[in-house]
Structure 1
Amino acid sequence: MPKNKKTPGPSVKDDHLYEKLRDEGNSKEKSARIANAAANTSRKAVGRKGGESPAYDDWSVADLRKRAAELQIEGRSSMRKPDLIDALRHH
């Protein structure tokens, strides 16, 4: 890893992938989840995984707020549906 980067910590299994994801603008939590999933299987398998949940556009505002609460997104109670969707997608 380059000297100017901080190491993500011992819980992250693939430091290189983690840093690449962070550089792309992903959150620390999301980057760590993806990096660890890739380290446990393979990067190709992680890309195929998922796609089982309906799109946020199909969720009700109440369900979006509930999910935002689970992720501890601040300001969720005053957000409108498009704002909630954006916050959830970029968490």
Structure 2
Amino acid sequence: MSAPKKYRKKPVVIEAMQWDGSRASIVAICGWANDPAEDEATVEFNYCGADDVHDVTISTLEGYLHVSPGDYVIRGVQGEFYPCKPDIFAATYEEADA
């Protein structure tokens, strides 16, 4: 058996939006992520009152994943969506020039 090799992550540009916990923020994310031509939404949420958002989920290749306030919603290189914790996002991504 050979020893493990080291690999560097290829530089790719992704799109992402951070959910700040507000209803306005998740509505904007839904507008970006959800395809109106599709029957099922990619990003879904429930709310109570004016701004009490809870149960935010993303339909991913691995099933439904929960999104917490502060998490980023990422569109991957193949158009898939998934959540990412802020510390992992900061360690993995930097803002790209347009």
Give the alignment's TM-score, normalised by structure 2: 0.25
Greater helix fraction, Structure 1 or Structure 2: 1
Q: Whose relative contact order is higher, 1 or 2, with alpha carbons under 8 Å and at least 6 apart?
A: 2
Give the alignment's TM-score, normalised by structure 1: 0.27
